[in-house]
Structure 1
C-alpha cells in the first residue's frame, strides 16, 4: 500500500526492530502531519478535537456520521500494520468510492485516535477514553512518560489546550456508526482461509502495575541470607501469571515490562515495578486470574521480606459488538467470517456509546505487536474494497 510505504521511515526503531511511535512524540507528530497532508490532498477538511484526535471530513461535518479510522501510534518495537493499516485503508477507501462515483448521503469522516497503544503514558485507547468520558481528565493529565513528561505537558507542546481535555458530547454526537479496519492479531482468518472477517467480541482485559519495595544494597557485599531483594519477589510473579492464566480456560496473562530501580548490574534494586496484562472471556474470569496473581505476589513479597502494592492502571469489560450492525456488515460483504479477538481497540471503547463494528484483514504469521506482523498486499487490497463496500452501504 502506498500510504504504508510513505510512512515506513517514521519511527523505525533500530534497537528493538519494528517501530516505536508513541502519543505526541516526534514520530507520532510526524505521522499526524502526514495524515493531515494526505487528507487535505483528497479535499477532506481536517480538525483536531479537544482530546487530540484528528478528524478528516468528506463533505460537511454533521451528527450521525459514518466514521472509520484507527490509530497511528505503536507499542515499543511494534509492527507496521497495527493501527496504520486502518488509517491508510480508510483513505484508500475514500479514493475507491470516488472512483466508483459514490457520493455519501450522510456525513463521512476518517478519524485518527490518539495514543491507542498506551506506549508512552501507560493507558491504552487514551484518545477514545477521554472522548467518551471513561477516563477522568484529571487522572489522564497527571499521567507521565518514562522521562517524567506529563500528558498535560505533551499536549501543550503539541499545540493542544490541556484544560479542554475530557468527555466531548459534540464529537460523540457526530458518530452515528463507527467501523474500524485492523490487521488481525491472531490466526483466525488464516485457519478459516479468508482474507477479511468481522469482529464479534473483545475479551475483558486490563493492565496492573505491581511495585515491590525491598532494600537496595551492594551486589557483592551483601550475603544472600541478608537480602530483601524485590527482584526475587517480582520474578515469582512472572511464573505465577502463566500458572494463573493456564488455570482459567481461554485466559491470558503477561508480564511484558520490568523496571528495577536504580537498575545497576552490581546493585540489589530497592524497588521493582512490573506491569501485568490480563485477559479472559468475561469480567469474572479476568478478575479471578488477577486475584490469583495478586495473592502470589503478596506471598512472594512476604517470603523475601519485601512489600508490594498493586495498582489497576486500565480496565475494560468484555465487548460484544452491536449484533445488528455486525450481521449487517457481514451480509454486505457476502457472509464473511465473524470471529472474536483478544486485542483491545478504540472500537471497543466506542462500542458502549455508538453502534460499532470492526473488519479484520488476514495476518499470515498471526504475529502482532512485533516486527514480524504482516499482511499480504492482496489481502490489504481486499480489506480496502471491503471497507469501501461497508461505508457505501452505511452512508447511502
Structure 2
C-alpha cells in the first residue's frame, strides 16, 4: 500500500474557510466495516459558513448535456449526448447543431461526451471531442477526434480521430471521457473500464486502454516521456492504470498536476492525483461494495503496490466533472475543488491543505443531476444538468 504524498508547503493549497468538527450529514456508509487508510480520507469536517447562491437558467431544452468549453468571445460550446454540439451565447441563444461531427454510439451512457479547445485555438481553431465510437457488432469504445471550427461556428472541418480506446467492447457503460490539457500542451484522456466483470479486469494490465488515464500529444502522437514508452507488451499512451470510470478531471492551477474523480461502486467514489506509471487499484482494491451488496473481488481496500485515493465518499456523490476555482467572485473559494454531483445532485466543494482534503460542503442539491461544473470568464460558475430537458445554469453568490 502506498498513500499519496503530501504536496510541499510551498505549493500546497491553503485552507481558506473555518471548519466544524462534524462531517456533512449523509447517513451511514454502505460498507460500514471498512476503515480509511489515513485520517481525513473520508467524511471531512463540514465547512462552516452561510454561503447562499443564486441560480439563473440561461438555456434549457438541452438533451442530456455533458460537456462545455468557453470560446474566447464568451460563447460556449456544449455537447448533447445524442450527438449534437451547439453554440450557446451568454444570453442563452442556442444554435442549430454544428455540422461535421463524427458518428457516435448514443446508447446507454454513450454518445457525444466532452469538448475542449486546443491550446492553439486562437490560431488553429482546433476543437477536441470525446465520444463513444461505434465499432460494429454492438461493440464500441471511447474515442477522441479533433476538427477545426469554422469562423461562423457552424461546422467542424479537417476532422480526424486521434485516439481510440482498445479493445472495443459490447457495453453501453463506463466510457470515462474527460479531456484535460497539461502545461506542456499534452492531452490527458480518462477512459472507463466498461463496467462489466470481464473487461474491468483489464484495468490492471498494460496491453490495453481499459480503465486507464492516457496522455497523448495534440496530434495523437505519443509523448516520449510517458511512463511505459518502450516497455514490451505495454501501450505507450498509458499514464496511470487501475481506474474504474473517471468522469471528472482538472489541472491544478498552481502545480499543473492532474487531479481526477471517478465513479466507484456503491460507496467508493474516489478523488485521486494520478501520477505517471502508478496503479490506482480497481478492481483489486476499492472502498464500497458491489450494487448487489456483495464485495468487489476479495473485498479489500489496501494492497502493496496500489495507490490510495486522496479522498473517498461512502455514500457516493456520483461525480461528474470537477474544476479548481481561481476567480474572485466567490470569496475564500480560491483553489477549492468544485465537483458536479449526479446523486444526490448539485455541487460538492472541497478545501485542501498540503494535498489533503480538509473540509467539504454541499450546495444546490435541488438542481438534481449536475453533469458538469466550470468557471466562466466572469468568475461565475456554470453548470449543466443531465436530464432529457437539461439546462445551462449560471451560479453566483447571493447578494
Same fold (TM over 0.5): no
TM (norm. structure 1) is: 0.30
- Say which structure is richer in strand: 2
TM (norm. structure 2) is: 0.30
By relative contact order (CA 8 Å, sep 6+), the higher-ranking structure is 1
